[in-house]
Structure 1
Amino acid sequence: MTDMTQTTAARLSGVGWRKSTFSNPSGNCVELAELANGLVAVRNSRDPEGAVLVYTRPEIDAFLSGAKSGEFDDLAL
């Protein structure tokens, strides 16, 4: 990969994707995968071969900490 911030799932063969148990049955969710280099990939579950964003561990930690503390609650339905 030349650009580690965005790629496609097709270029990330062999990674183990997972989604939240809170995901709805229609599959409208995001999936995450730990990459061999310690980065974390995120994709749309409805487009499994499509675009993937790649984040560092500190970026994921900052997002999860914010989500847990309610910083993004205004974005929920």
Structure 2
Amino acid sequence: MDNPTPPTVDFDSLTWIKASASSDQGACVELAAAPRGWVALRDSKHPDREPLMFTPAEMTAFLAGARAGEFDHLA
């Protein structure tokens, strides 16, 4: 199985976004576009922790599953 290496990223330089439906208490996840099409994901309560990094293919698969309702039972 291919295990791509994420790019080196200065996470403080990324533009982080969160869903407009997110809680005002800071209980959110935030996403940011990273180099080479990668996507960074972090917990807004702990922005100092290293984010998870996803390849473009992983993010595409996740979003397709979310749009199809595959994760609705988790909410």
The TM-score, its normalising length taken from structure 1, stands at: 0.80
C-alpha distance in 1 between matches for 2:67 and 2:21: 14
- Name the structure where strand makes up a greater proportion of residues: 1
- Name the structure where helix makes up a greater proportion of residues: 2
Over aligned residues, Cα RMSD in angstroms? 2.1
SS at match of 1:54: strand
Divergent runs of 4+, >2 A: none
Q: Deviations over 1:29-50 (max 9, x none)?
A: 1000101222100000000111
The TM-score, its normalising length taken from structure 2, stands at: 0.82
- Extract unaligned runs of 5+ from structure 1: none
> What is the identity percentage for the equivalent residue pairs of Structure 1 and Structure 2?
42
- Extract unaligned runs of 5+ from structure 2: none
Q: How far 1:71 sits from its partner (Å)?
A: 0.4
